[in-house]
């Protein structure tokens, strides 16, 4: 029965994402915050359907750590869940993502209108420079920046090198980094149809000030915060 529920949810997700992208494209002329409000409404509907069909809900801890103003959120990336949920969990935002996602029919149209920083992951230093240049402009516009420093989804418990572009942006702009950890990959795996029922925990850690730090050290500080929060979530789940 859970497989059937998961199949129904996946069908809803794919269809609603296509409709969302088409509607976004038709409303290309409205202000950005209206576009983002539409994206947030779509995300809320997806999370509601996920809870009703698959019994998968979430809880957020540490929301008091979100500092006033707009900053840079960096999170582990273990599932497709966070690519939906962050629209709801954080203030008006833009994402750093791989440019290939903008080529997708319908969905890519919607993403393009959400002002992403779309990078070529094979471009190395040029991609990092693009994140810094465009990220500063987005921050100046009062928007949050969302970065998954691992660059791609990683199985829970596995580790991948963190990119330094988020730290470089924080240092260049003076905006803080908010580290976020979650265990969505335990319930909505990177690959596979099944969405397991349960409670996804999201932990928002204390903001990290980039003042006087160099990119590698700052990146390592972010990694330590995210991984320690992830380990805490895993340990408490086992108990």
Mean pLDDT per 10-residue section of the chain, whose length is 239 residues: 93 93 89 93 97 98 96 96 96 92 85 88 77 95 96 81 94 97 94 92 97 96 96 88
pLDDT at 123: 65
d(CA 130, CA 150): 17
- Enter the pTM of the model: 0.93
At which residue do the structure tokens 């996946």 appear?
Answer: 10
The Cα–Cα gap between 239 and 226 comes to: 20
In total, how many domains does the chain have?
Answer: 1
Burial of 116 (0-12, 13-18, 19+ CB in 10 A): buried
**Domain assignment of residue 227, given as a range:** 2-238
Q: How far is CA 97 from the centre of its chain?
A: 9
d(CA 143, CA 135): 9
**pLDDT for position 151:** 83
Of 47, 150, 142, whose CA–CA distance to 98 is shortest? 150
CATH number at residue 11: 3.40.1130
């Amino acid at each position: 029965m859970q497989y059937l529920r998961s199949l129904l949810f996946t069908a809803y997700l794919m269809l609603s994402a296509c409709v969302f992208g088409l509607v976004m494209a038709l409303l290309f002329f409205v202000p950005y915050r209206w576009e983002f409000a539409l994206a947030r409404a779509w995300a809320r509907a997806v999370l509601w359907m996920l809870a009703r069909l698959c019994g998968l809900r979430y809880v957020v801890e540490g929301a008091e750590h979100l500092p006033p103003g707009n900053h840079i959120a960096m999170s582990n990336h273990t599932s497709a869940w966070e690519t939906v949920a962050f629209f709801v969990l954080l203030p008006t935002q833009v994402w750093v993502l791989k440019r290939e996602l903008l080529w997708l029919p319908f969905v890519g149209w919607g993403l393009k209108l959400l002002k992403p920083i779309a990078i070529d992951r094979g471009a190395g230093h040029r991609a990092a420079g693009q994140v810094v240049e465009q990220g500063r402009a987005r921050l100046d516009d009062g928007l949050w920046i969302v970065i998954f420093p691992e660059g791609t989804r990683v199985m829970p418990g596995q580790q991948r090198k963190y990119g330094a572009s988020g730290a470089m942006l924080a240092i260049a702009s003076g905006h803080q980094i908010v580290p976020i950890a979650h265990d969505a990959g335990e319930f909505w795996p990177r690959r596979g149809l099944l969405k397991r029922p349960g409670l996804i925990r999201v932990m928002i850690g204390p903001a990290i000030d980039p003042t006087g730090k160099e990119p590698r050290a700052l990146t390592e500080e972010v990694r330590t915060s995210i991984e320690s929060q992830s380990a805490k979530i895993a340990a408490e789940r086992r108990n």
